[in-house]
């Protein structure tokens, strides 16, 4: 479990990125931070692995304040996937995936064997292992990024707009793939997006951030759609447009919430 207790972040130039955030992120579920540009989503995410430290308040992982953890060691135990994959351009796919395990002292042969398995896990052909990132499509690069994030077998996987830079069809594929993976792996996933449809599709818990780094609502997609906390949320999720008359359908054993246009708005926990 990850817990934010009264967390604020003011950058040295005076920008108040996050203001007094209290939130519990349950284990083995996907929590999505969604909001417009500059609402503090990335800052909040980065406080989990100490890429950013709060100005006040605490971030706890399983009851331990991350401020007491050595940042590099902390980061090596938490998967991190970012937009544009963040792959090292001069290293092959397999070396990119194996980077952190090798830094942690794994033997090269073991790290590579595990990296190949991870390519299977994220749906990539092993024949791509010796390519360089520039020789892959955008969607393939993102899959390598996810494989790299999983390479240390983390309990927590942080994903910062991981599908933001790919076209809509590939994006939909990657979203489905993440739902499948999460069904198998059951990580604590914290995901940042500015796309409310993506948030509702992927999130067990959706955290709606408003400009100025405050949380407007944190709840399941269905709760948010049924009972938006305020006018900001209602407008942000489109509830005011009457488009989201919800109904539920079953696809592949999962209960999917559809909006008035028949678009997937969320998946109900079974
Ligand atoms: N290092 C920094 N120094 C000063 N201000 C910063 C710094 N990093 C972020 N900010 C500011 O803090 C606010 C929140 O930024 P953050 O990146 O967390 O937002 P976001 O919701 O993730 O936005 P986006 O969707 O555009 O990535 C913004 O106003 C941003 O300009």
Distance (angstroms) between ligand 1 centre and the Cα of 35 equals: 12
pLDDT digit string (tens) for 68-113?
999 998 988 899 998 877 899 999 999 999 998 898 888 999 999 9
Mean pLDDT for the stretch of residues 186-193:
95
| pLDDT given at position 253 | 72
Mean pLDDT for the stretch of residues 107-122:
94
| pLDDT given at position 229 | 93
Q: How far apart are CA 106 and CA 121, in angstroms?
A: 20
Distance (angstroms) between ligand 1 centre and the Cα of 44 equals: 10
Kindly report the CA angle at 264 between 262 and 268, in degrees rounded to 5?
A: 125
| pLDDT given at position 143 | 92
pLDDT digit string (tens) for 125-149?
999 999 999 999 988 999 999 999 9
List the structure tokens of 101: 């395990």
Candidates 10, 11, 54, 193: which one to mutate for ligand 1, based on the most atoms within 8 Å of Cβ? Answer: 11
Residue 248 has pLDDT above 70, yes or no: no
Distance (angstroms) between ligand 1 centre and the Cα of 158 equals: 17
Distance (angstroms) between ligand 1 centre and the Cα of 66 equals: 21
- ipTM over 0.90 threshold: yes
Q: Where are the beta strands (DSSP E) in the chain?
A: 2-10, 16-25, 30-34, 56-61, 64-65, 78-82, 156-160, 188-193, 205-210, 214-219, 247-251, 254-258, 264-268
Q: Which atom of ligand 1 has the smallest separation from the CA of 52?
A: 1
CB 224 within 8 A of CB 244: no
| pLDDT given at position 164 | 83
Range in 38-42, 46-50, 51-55, 238-242 with the lowest mean pLDDT: 238-242
Question: How is the chain split into domains, by residue range?
Answer: 2-77+154-239, 91-152
Mean pLDDT for the stretch of residues 243-268:
67
Residues in the ligand 1 pocket, defined by CB under 6 Å: 11, 13, 15, 17, 35, 37-43, 194
List the structure tokens of 127: 């024949």
Distance (angstroms) between ligand 1 centre and the Cα of 251 equals: 38
pTM score, whole prediction: 0.87
Instruction: Please list, residue by residue across 145-161, b when 16 or more beta carbons sit within 10 angstroms of its beta carbon and e when fewer do.
Output: bbbbbbbbebbbbbbbb
List the structure tokens of 126: 């092993």
Residue 251 has pLDDT above 60, yes or no: yes
- Quick one: pLDDT band at residue 247, thresholds 50, 70, 90? low
CB 48 within 8 A of CB 59: yes
Q: How does the average pLDDT of the chain come out, rounded?
A: 89
Residue 206 has pLDDT above 70, yes or no: yes
Closest residue CA from atom 16 of ligand 1: 40
Does domain 2-77+154-239 fall into CATH 2.30.40.10?
Answer: no
Residue 240 has pLDDT above 70, yes or no: no
Q: Which atom of ligand 1 has the smallest separation from the CA of 44?
A: 18
Closest residue CA from atom 18 of ligand 1: 40
List the structure tokens of 229: 């906390």
- Quick one: pLDDT band at residue 60, thresholds 50, 70, 90? very high
């Amino acid at each position: 479990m990850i817990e934010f207790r009264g967390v604020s972040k003011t950058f040295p130039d005076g920008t108040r990125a996050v203001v007094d955030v209290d939130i519990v992120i349950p284990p083995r579920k996907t929590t999505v931070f969604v909001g417009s540009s500059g609402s503090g989503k990335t800052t909040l995410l980065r406080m989990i692995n100490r890429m950013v430290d709060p100005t006040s308040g605490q971030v706890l992982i399983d009851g331990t304040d991350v401020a007491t953890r050595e940042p590099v060691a902390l980061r090596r135990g938490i998967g991190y996937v970012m937009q544009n994959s963040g792959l090292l351009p001069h290293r092959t796919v397999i070396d990119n995936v194996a980077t952190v395990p090798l830094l942690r002292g794994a033997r090269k042969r073991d790290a590579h064997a595990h990296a190949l398995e991870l390519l299977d896990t994220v749906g990539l052909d092993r024949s791509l292992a010796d390519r360089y990132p520039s020789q892959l499509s955008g969607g393939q690069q993102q899959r390598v990024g996810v494989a790299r994030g999983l390479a240390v077998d983390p309990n927590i996987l942080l994903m910062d707009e991981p599908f933001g830079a790919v076209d809509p069809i590939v994006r939909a594929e990657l979203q489905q793939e993440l739902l499948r993976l999460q069904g198998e792996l059951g990580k604590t996933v914290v995901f940042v997006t500015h796309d409310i449809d993506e948030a509702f599709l992927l999130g067990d818990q959706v955290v709606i951030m408003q400009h100025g780094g405050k949380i407007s609502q944190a709840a399941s997609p269905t709760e948010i759609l049924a009972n938006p906390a305020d006018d900001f949320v209602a407008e942000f999720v489109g509830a005011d447009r009457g488009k989201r008359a919800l109904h539920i359908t079953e696809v592949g054993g999962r209960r999917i919430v559809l909006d008035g246009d028949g678009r997937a708005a969320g998946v109900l926990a079974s």
